[in-house]
Structure 1
Amino acid sequence: MSTLLETLLRLTVLGSLLTGVVLLLERVFRRRLSRAAGYYLWLLVLLRLCLPFGVTLRVPTAEEFPTPAAQTGGAPVQTAPLPGGAELVPAAPRPPVGEAADGTDGASPSPGGTDRGASLRTLLTTPALWTAVWGLGAAVCLGRCVRGYLRFSRAVRRTAEPPCPAARALLRRLDPAGRAALAESPHVPAPMLLGVLRPLIVLPAGVDDPARLEDILRHELVHARRHDLLYKWLTAAVTSLHWFNPLMYLVRREVARRCELSCDEAVLRTLDQRGRRRYGETLLALAAPPPPGMGVLAVTLCEEKAHLRERLVSIAGYRKGGPAAAVLAAILALAVGGCALVGGAETVPPETAPPQETPPEAASALLEDGTGYDLPNGMTLAVPGAVSEELLVFPAGEAELGEAPYLVWVYEKKSYEDGMTDYGSPAGFLFCILRYDQVEYEQNYLAVNGGAGGLDFFARDGAYYYGWGTATDVQYYRSDEGETDAGGQGWKDWKALFEAFPAIQADFIARNGLTACDGGAALGRDFFWPGEHRYVSYHNADYTRSMTLTLSQPAVQGEGGIWCVERWQDNNYGSRYTVLPSTDVPVAEYYADLQEQTGRVHPIQGGQADLLTPEGAALDWLRQEYEGEDISADSIRLLEGAPAGDVWGRLSRVLAQEGTLESFTWAGGAETGLRTYSEPDYYRDEGQQLSLWGVAGTWLYLYAWVEAQPPAALTGAAVRYTAGSGDGVLFLAEGGLVRVDLDGETLWVRPAYDYQSTPYDRMYDICQKWAEYASFLQDISSSARP
């Protein structure tokens, strides 16, 4: 038999044995094993089926354990090793030609019969024949999958239409990194995902309910994020190679089943009880048979209703797994992985590997009394010995891991244990440490404006940024307390733990040879890229979408350099967003490559030439961001003036200080009509605290600012705020000019647009309101006198 067929048979036997192991483990631990762990255990089965190497097990030789024939003095029976250590006993000796096994004449009944029989036997034992049969079967099996997928994909893309605006907006909120596109097609029976490299979520026609859409997108984005379609292509390819093995159809079914169950689990982790009930209703409402011809490659939200029972039962009984579930998953993965490494058996004893030396423990540079914990990649965490008994520390692999590469999770012990006892899920989360490489830091932190909060990057080395994550809600919990007792000793002890954070961070940096940094500083910079910057304005017909784009040159400055959108500001609400391209390489490298490509294209020839102007780059970005909408060059406008950066950040730093608010008029170079205003404690009719920073920010936050030249002479009306530190802001009525004096530096700016009200108008309105309130208090005081 050929080497190819021998290897294939060995792999199919090993894969079948491992399939039985995984099925047994799933049955034994079905209530304790997470759906995701069960899903990825099958990946080890697929790898065993297709990787022709592994660890060879040692089996006893004939000299160590004599065969029965040897014990009786007869000739020893030779045995040959098989996968898994089984033995093959050779058949009885063949009788001589012309003699049957029973000693009778074995001649054929007709002339030539023996030759034909021998020829047939020779043909059936030819390796080339069986190799051809196997190859044909594998090609047919895999070809059916490929043909069915391509036919269905082409049909969907021919009928695809842009989704409704609400669906697009929801996708942008749930997928800010832009991992997947969205379309609608009457050709799909249920929501599904297409495309390995460029995922496309396809909705059936008529799905417009916001709750339904959110359930659908959450589900399909999990598939896209985990690259489930690539996993299923691997399943189709591997099982096609072993098409002759009946167990492969079971493997396909289990991968598809576990894929959807684990996806449901990932979605449910983000939902409350009401959301889980709604999610189950969505599955029932949109249940439909998988597309014909897709087989294992179908990645849909739901199946026909006959197959939904298990998923609905799983949703109803969902419980969030804790560290115990993660430890169990790790143990089972190691066990199954160890089985998957077995590649055969032989009588030759394996070489003994030299013992590994234990690396020396890292010495603490700061916490002499610290309790240390070993983290992945040789790193170490230490916590003060005074609080170590109050903490539970889970290094990576011993706690529930998220998408980011977490190194360690730390909980307050009492809250953790009480939460597990009462609800089966932990409370008491204090902090975690994770690390991002340059691409992850840019895509998962900077590109989403720091994310949802609770994450700060405090250190780095040559390859990674290290982040410190904290909870955005109160994690303190006690079983014997109803509502949190802020005056109780438990709460005070909880708050005291936070005082140890700076020392733990400093120790982690010194202990692991890192460099302290402020990873969030990039979000507060005036500009992401140095050099020249320009504003481009865009709005749609009814101004429901109105924005100011900040353009910069990320690669080459001046003529010939490409432009990019680095930030945009919502003119209706003032919110500002960082813009980075979705890429698998650092953005600087991405733009350098794009600059090189553009440099090869003459502007007249098209290509990327539009990126050579701010207007062209803005138009290109808008059309990609709002794909399907009619965005013409007439809808954008290059604004005059150079963007002034984070002006509101400077203003807020001044206005948040204690100081004096004044109004006056410049006349002949002198201040006339000077009037000072006192900040009221509250408005009696509104019952709320006033703050100049808060009131002024309501309006000043909305402005887009450009740099301005100081006036030749100060004239006209003005409002001035002077802080006790010497910082101050001057608002002039003339030209809407504003002067910001901060930290010994002066900046003159003006609004980028002709707003209905100038910054001076807004500030003078505040002066009037404060004056009215002061007069109101004086009138009350006067009327109260006898």
Structure 2
Amino acid sequence: MNEIFLIILSLSISGSLIALLLLLLRPIIKDRLSKIWQYYIFLIVIIRLLLPFGPEFSLMRMIFNQFESHITTTDVPTSASDTVHFLRLPDETPQEQTNNESVSMVTAQEDRKETLLGWWWLAWLVPAILLLIRKLVRYYRQTRFIKNSSGLIDDIHLLNMYRETCKIMGIKHAPSLAKNERVPAPMIVGIVQPMVILPDTSLKDTDIRLVMQHELTHYKRLDIVYKWLVQIALCIHWFNPVVYWVSREINRNCELSCDEAVIKCLDKKSRFDYGDMLLNAIKIDKMPSHTTVSLLLSDDAKRIKERLKAIMTYKKQSHKLVMVSVLLAVCLLFGAVCVGSYTSSAPNSVQQIPTDVGTPSANNITGTQTQTTPLEVAKNPAIIEEMEMRYYEDDDPDGRWPYLHWIITNNSDKTITDYEMACLAYDKDGNPLELIWQQIALTDGNKVTGFTSQSDESYEWIITEAEKPLLPGEKEDLNGGWSLWDGWNQSDGSHEVAYVLACMKQITFDDGTVWENPEYQNWLSTYKAQSIAPEILHTFYGA
């Protein structure tokens, strides 16, 4: 659920950035661009607040993926869909044990941080659900009360005017027409069964036609759906004050744009008649203090004054301003897409399974092992169950040499004949290491006397190892291993390598088919020769 919380937070920030940009542009566009444009441009903000889409390289994804790498301790810090494994060497000196205790304290702090994050998403979710339920209940009660207290109009003259208006506006399935003297102004209520309600049918025919045209414009534009999208955004982003400002601006521009849509085909005298209708149709003494989602023709005194001014000063948009409007809308839409949203860097979920590794019985090999954490990804044909450092060892301390040991499980329904696995190494501070990965042991009888190198130093090494064909569901547990020189200091017995990161690159099956890890190059570019914080690495060992 923390992933969802981070997605919501990123959407809230990205939507706010676009909204604040509109706020900065408001003094410039307020009296220049059409009210219809100013109404619908906020759809970009609402969509940005609700839909977690965006390009792979977006601002929010970059910021939150960096943020996630520091605050998330239970998720894998990689975008690769392949199995990833870290290896930590066993503690051998008092100093190393002290360092391990320090790292354990860091891990405990990270665990507490993860617990806190868990409460964060819960603290967001509960108010969001309660707020949405409250709005739904209030809207249901309000709509039911208004409809139950309204009576369908049966006046033939009014019905004929209503049908004519619907025909002129191209509306085939018109809402019901009703009268309710208890409502403060003409309105349209309901989504499934919408109803246009008139508080006063004694107005002159011209005013009634304008009232009908206004309410049917709301119906035709699906303004009720727009407003519910806003309400959903408010519930999801209840903690963001910018979203409340966006809601007020949309409500304000809804009526202004509806007025503009009605009067754009009227002459100056008819616009004055429309303004008179606006005043005559409203019963100020009955205006409600709060409505959840309604499409009232009325508004408070300040808004009515603004609407009357907009009606009287209306001018048709020039072609130049229309082009500016379109260009500005495209730029804002492009900006909203580029800002993007957070998405998890791991496309496939992983399951961490701490495993206590037993002690092997093998000649000339130490039984010292570390606790490892295998990570399983269902889509991988082979899973690296375990990877650790072991040592060739005998009575002579100079004969103690390290090698990598691993266990791989065939997770497919085919026999694996060969595979390629990449390895990266890190020191105790999380710095990448250039190692001599390929060596041959020099022996004197059963005693290892040294190694000879067959490779240059490199950050990455591809291990190609197939002791025998690996049947479906079978494990490969090599008794030997891959010898490497890791900067072992014979004087104090310390080793340079502290962590190893492994990733399956390619798998060959007995039928000749080859599986190539599609995320391998992404994994390699992310981690090769890159430093990783030790406290992040350490979280993979459950120590």
Choose the corresponding residue for 2:335, options 334, 339, 356. Answer: 339
1:49 corresponds in structure 2 to 49
1:140 corresponds in structure 2 to 130
Q: Is residue 184 of structure 2 the alignment partner of residue 196 of structure 1?
A: no
Q: Is residue 36 of structure 2 the alignment partner of residue 36 of structure 1?
A: yes
Shift of 1:248: 1.4
Choose the corresponding residue for 2:311, options 310, 315, 324. Answer: 315
What secondary structure does 1:201 align onto?
strand
Structure 2: distance between partners of 1:326 and 1:317: 18
Letter in 2 for 1:307: R
Letter in 2 for 1:155: F
2:239 corresponds in structure 1 to 244
Question: Which stretches in structure 2 are left out of the alignment for 5+ residues?
Answer: 72-107, 343-543
- Aligned partners of 2:181 and 2:199 also within 8 Å: yes
Identity %: 31
- Aligned partners of 2:152 and 2:176 also within 8 Å: no
Structure 1: distance between partners of 2:145 and 2:227: 21
Shift of 1:238: 1.3
Choose the corresponding residue for 2:63, options 62, 65, 82. Answer: 82
1:129 corresponds in structure 2 to 119
Structure 1: distance between partners of 2:236 and 2:33: 30
What secondary structure does 2:133 align onto?
helix
Structure 2: distance between partners of 1:257 and 1:58: 32
1:261 corresponds in structure 2 to 256
Shift of 1:22: 1.8
- Aligned partners of 1:41 and 1:333 also within 8 Å: yes
What secondary structure does 1:82 align onto?
helix
Distance 1:129 1:86, change over 3 A: closer
What secondary structure does 2:295 align onto?
coil
Letter in 1 for 2:48: R
Structure 2: distance between partners of 1:218 and 1:30: 25
What secondary structure does 1:126 align onto?
helix
Question: Which stretches in structure 1 are left out of the alignment for 5+ residues?
Answer: 60-79, 92-117, 347-786
Choose the corresponding residue for 1:329, options 325, 330, 333. Answer: 325
Shift of 1:215: 1.6
Residue-by-residue CA offset, 1:128-181 (whole Å, 9 max, x unaligned)? 322222122112222222122111111111111122333211111100224222
Residue-by-residue CA offset, 1:651-692 (whole Å, 9 max, x unaligned)? xxxxxxxxxxxxxxxxxxxxxxxxxxxxxxxxxxxxxxxxxx
Structure 1: distance between partners of 2:247 and 2:341: 28
Q: Is residue 222 of structure 2 the alignment partner of residue 227 of structure 1?
A: yes
- Aligned partners of 2:54 and 2:341 also within 8 Å: no
Residue-by-residue CA offset, 1:526-583 (whole Å, 9 max, x unaligned)? xxxxxxxxxxxxxxxxxxxxxxxxxxxxxxxxxxxxxxxxxxxxxxxxxxxxxxxxxx
Tell me how many residue pairs correspond in the alignment: 299
What secondary structure does 2:151 align onto?
coil
2:160 corresponds in structure 1 to 169
- Aligned partners of 2:218 and 2:258 also within 8 Å: yes
Structure 2: distance between partners of 1:181 and 1:222: 15
Shift of 1:26: 3.1
Choose the corresponding residue for 2:176, options 164, 172, 181. Answer: 181
Distance 1:25 1:88, change over 3 A: farther
Letter in 2 for 1:174: T
Letter in 2 for 1:336: L
What secondary structure does 1:186 align onto?
coil
Letter in 1 for 2:181: P
Residue-by-residue CA offset, 1:296-316 (whole Å, 9 max, x unaligned)? x12111212232121111011
Structure 2: distance between partners of 1:134 and 1:290: 34
What secondary structure does 2:207 align onto?
helix
Structure 1: distance between partners of 2:254 and 2:42: 10
Structure 1: distance between partners of 2:299 and 2:26: 22
2:144 corresponds in structure 1 to 154
Letter in 2 for 1:282: M
Distance 1:58 1:278, change over 3 A: closer
Q: Is residue 204 of structure 2 the alignment partner of residue 209 of structure 1?
A: yes
Q: Is residue 291 of structure 2 the alignment partner of residue 294 of structure 1?
A: yes
Structure number with the bigger relative contact order (C-alpha 8 A, sep ≥ 6) is 2
Residue pairs, 1:688-767, within 5 angstroms: none
What secondary structure does 2:310 align onto?
helix
- Aligned partners of 1:53 and 1:343 also within 8 Å: no
Shift of 1:223: 0.5
Distance 1:87 1:152, change over 3 A: closer
Structure 1: distance between partners of 2:209 and 2:340: 49
Structure 2: distance between partners of 1:153 and 1:58: 42
Structure 1: distance between partners of 2:320 and 2:268: 23
Letter in 1 for 2:47: L
Structure 2: distance between partners of 1:343 and 1:148: 35
1:474 corresponds in structure 2 to none
- Aligned partners of 2:165 and 2:213 also within 8 Å: yes
What secondary structure does 1:166 align onto?
helix
Distance 1:136 1:87, change over 3 A: closer
Residue-by-residue CA offset, 1:492-551 (whole Å, 9 max, x unaligned)? xxxxxxxxxxxxxxxxxxxxxxxxxxxxxxxxxxxxxxxxxxxxxxxxxxxxxxxxxxxx
Shift of 1:249: 1.0
Letter in 1 for 2:208: L
Distance 1:343 1:265, change over 3 A: same
- Aligned partners of 1:26 and 1:38 also within 8 Å: no
Structure 1: distance between partners of 2:41 and 2:66: 25
Distance 1:57 1:21, change over 3 A: farther
Distance 1:54 1:290, change over 3 A: farther
- Aligned partners of 2:52 and 2:340 also within 8 Å: no
Structure 1: distance between partners of 2:139 and 2:241: 23
What secondary structure does 2:152 align onto?
coil
Structure 2: distance between partners of 1:147 and 1:123: 37
Letter in 1 for 2:140: L
Letter in 1 for 2:151: E
Residue-by-residue CA offset, 1:593-651 (whole Å, 9 max, x unaligned)? xxxxxxxxxxxxxxxxxxxxxxxxxxxxxxxxxxxxxxxxxxxxxxxxxxxxxxxxxxx
2:392 corresponds in structure 1 to none
Structure 1: distance between partners of 2:16 and 2:341: 16
- Aligned partners of 2:188 and 2:219 also within 8 Å: yes
- Aligned partners of 1:155 and 1:187 also within 8 Å: no
Residue pairs, 1:530-609, within 5 angstroms: none
Shift of 1:239: 1.6
What secondary structure does 1:328 align onto?
helix
- Aligned partners of 2:58 and 2:338 also within 8 Å: no
What secondary structure does 1:183 align onto?
strand
